[in-house]
Amino acid sequence: MPDISEIGFDLQPALEIWAHVLSVPERGRLVCGFGKRDVGFDSGMPRLISWVRPNLDHKPKPLPVEYHIASLWDQHACVEGPEDSPLRVGDLVSVGISHPCTTLDKWRGLLVVDDDYVVHDLVRTYF
């Protein structure tokens, strides 16, 4: 199997999950509303992708690589990022799942969206 650096492009997440920022207990630390019950993590922690402030932003903004999931609890995730992070309670963050198999069994349905996050379909899962 070739090394990932040999394939000539970055791998993209196979699945995206969105969750609210529930708490900002200190600068540079966020608690988000997803956890082990929502996402697979057998191939590493999900990667933070973007964020949006509901009712204000029209398009998600990318999250810099400084943001990462420090801990994944049963129903929450502890996210660490820069101390001057603009994220606040109520914002939405998206995380990419690199290996979706152990995430698919956690959801009864998955929304199929386009690049503008317009919902086009619902795929039901049966496990």
Please name each of the domains of the chain with its CATH number.
13-124 (2.40.37.20)
77 exposed, middle or buried (CB, 10 Å; 0-12, 13-18, 19+)? Answer: buried
- pLDDT tens for each residue of 54-89: 999 889 999 999 999 999 999 999 999 999 999 999
pLDDT in tens, 11-57: 778 789 999 999 999 999 999 999 999 998 877 789 999 999 999 98
What residues contact residue 114 under an 8 Å CB cut-off, 6+ apart? 120
Q: Provide the pLDDT for residue 10.
A: 67
Q: Which of 19, 34, 24 is nearest to 87 (CA)?
A: 24
Residue with tokens 């386009």: 114
Element housing 71 (H / E): strand 68-72
Amino acid sitting at position 73: W
Burial label for 24, CB within 10 Å (0-12, 13-18, 19+), is middle
